[in-house]
Amino acid sequence: MNKLRYILYVVAIILLNIVATTLFFRIDLTENRSYSLSDASKELVKNLEEPLTIKVFLSQNLPVPYNTLERDIRDILMEYKLKANKHFNYTIDLIDKENRGNISPETYNIYPVNIQNIEQDEVKVVSAYIGIAFIHGDLVDTIPAIQYNQNLELLLTNKIRTLTEKSTSLLGLEDNIKIKLYISPILYRLTDELAKYKDLVKELVSEMNSEYFNRLDYEFIEADENDITSTKDNYSVTTLNLEDENGEVTRAISSIIIKNGKESEVLDLINQDIFGRTVISNGDEIRDNIKSSVNKMIGSSTKIGYLVSNGTIPMNQNQMMSFTGQQEPTINNLSSIITQDYSMAAVDLSKGVINSDIKTLIIARPTTKFSNRELFLLDQFLLKGNSILLAMDQLTMDMEKSNPNYGIEAYKEVDHGLLDLLKNYGIEVHNNMVMDQKSFKQVQRDASGSIIESQIYFAPLIQKENMNRDLPIIDGVNELITFRMAQLSAVAPEKQGIETIFTTTNNGWLVDKESLSLNPSRIVPGSEKDKYSIALLKDGHFTSFFKDKPVPPKQTQEESEDQDVNEIVGIEGKESVIPQSNSGKLVVLSSSDMVTDSILSKNYNSNIVFTQNILDYLSGREDYIEMRSKGVLNRPMVETTILKRNFIKYFNIVGLPILVAVAGLISYLLWLQKKKRIYHLFMEDNNEK
């Protein structure tokens, strides 16, 4: 009977192991559910409409810290597989030292990379494959090398989304995207080029249809007065006022209208530049603009603009010293952050336009004054439901009155002309600098080698209790370092919809420009301390700064002889103002240092996460924020009082040994007592005998 029971137990264990190999189940007990897929990832693979195959190529016996990579990738791909439909597949190909595997990684442009391996106190470099290939229909994309400690879910989901968005969106369209070209016949008399555009645009759309699964329908319309009225009312196309020889004005249009359901984009073939000259778009421009508009409609391309005019920090610049001896700021790390998930485009307001395919605009440290026309462009960009990240300085050193070599500091306001625009939206930027008792501590050694700790009061440290944890852009952010921030406040009547992102502690104070010094040894903490907002977000209702005001005119300049443009004389375009909108997002950081390389460095990882969160939030990708927060493990130290620190210190030095000694003494006394009981017990037994 016992033998039979033993056999049954063995059979049950074997069957249980067989079942376990076919089922995948685990419980995620981590704080931020690091090993569970987010809803966005589940929905993405659940709704695949074409086969997607992920091929992972890994070398066998990877060294530390990559030795757990195979298990981690296998686990997360299994999670994807469980939530995906039938179109999702994956393989993991392990390659031995002789580079033998089922499929050559080089087929997918994946090549071995060098990895440091520390073995027996020796540092060696080994060559290994750690790449992934994604195959979706006829599209192939790769990740040549996975970085150590990379967020695998964010990495995989971002790549899958990039591949599937275009095809999924196009295949899911109820109707084809309509591309209609409207040209008024009267314009043919002004230039022969426009007469060719009927066939030119048709040919361009035909070529693009191979890329867009034949979901583009083209139609040409010779616009009459009814068409002009209809398109102006429904799509806000630019009408052209053409004056003939008799002085009579005739309305005309020359525009491409791209329509996808209720969403539409207007591309004007005839535009005026900032000098008032009329320019006709060429074939390449038309193709690029149609592609950008279609991609924007189907969500397959997200572009972030960076303002390169108005004295902002240049996009691509190596660190250098200015003529004042100060180091010029750079944004190379910001550019790298953007290009990881988005494309980055330069925006020059002096050209008089912000391209329609840009949804988010970054303005970093403007130093020259915005003209009314440029403010109008920014205002209408926001009112169209787009987003702006503004990192601005309100005070700067006055070099005419300062002499850093002799410790003479003087500061002045930056005349960028944005204060009235921001105040119209309900945000006031004050002419001061915020200091805080809770701030960055600089540790240095003096000439004798002693360690000196300096409090940098103008670099407040922002911890969780001073962040608005209800905002998604704070997810995964536990501590931020700020630098040279100004006070921000929300003002009526546009106060509604404004949220404070983070503040100083209650021990903050304000310094005006007359009293300001950035020499740590000269700063004395203020007597009046309070909490101050230094980063604000407005999401929702915006009233135009130009409501009930005339549209600022475009700039004019005499035509230069060496400028080669296609120009039509006698055409005048009309613009209108969007008075208000219930969409649009604006983030204001009161210091440009927050987006420069000095702050966005590996030393301050939370600042990088915060910036990534802002970009995702402004671009409508809040699901990325959730995924990113799973990979954030930063746990800053909690500052305690001196009394508490000393108690913990001396308790560990003296208290623990005493506790161990007391525990040993108690154990010894208990042993003696037990020994006596046993002795008396045996003595009683002997006496009875």
The sheet carrying 216-222 orders its strands as 216-222, 177-183, 254-260, 263-268
Residue type, 390: L
The predicted structure's pLDDT at residue 20: 67
Token pair for residue 190? 């002004």
Residues of the chain with pLDDT under 50: 273-277, 319-325, 557-572
Q: How far is CA 323 from CA 201, 320, 326, 328, 357, in A?
A: 52, 10, 7, 10, 38
Could you read off the pLDDT of 403-433 as tens digits, one per residue? 877 778 889 999 999 999 999 999 999 999 9
The Cα–Cα gap between 364 and 371 comes to: 17
The predicted structure's pLDDT at residue 21: 62
Would you tell me how many other CB atoms lie within 10 Å of the CB of residue 477?
27
Structure pTM? 0.68
The predicted structure's pLDDT at residue 565: 37
Q: Is there a contact between 316 and 310 (Cβ–Cβ < 8 Å)? A: no
Helices (H), 563-655: 605-618, 622-629, 642-650
Residue with tokens 């249809």: 209
The predicted structure's pLDDT at residue 271: 66
The predicted structure's pLDDT at residue 570: 44
Would you tell me how many other CB atoms lie within 10 Å of the CB of residue 456?
18
Q: How far is CA 496 from CA 379, 429, 541, 543, 618, in A?
A: 18, 17, 8, 11, 19
Q: Crossing angle of helices 39-46/69-83, nearest 10°?
A: 60
Could you read off the pLDDT of 259-275 as tens digits, one per residue? 988 778 888 887 654 44
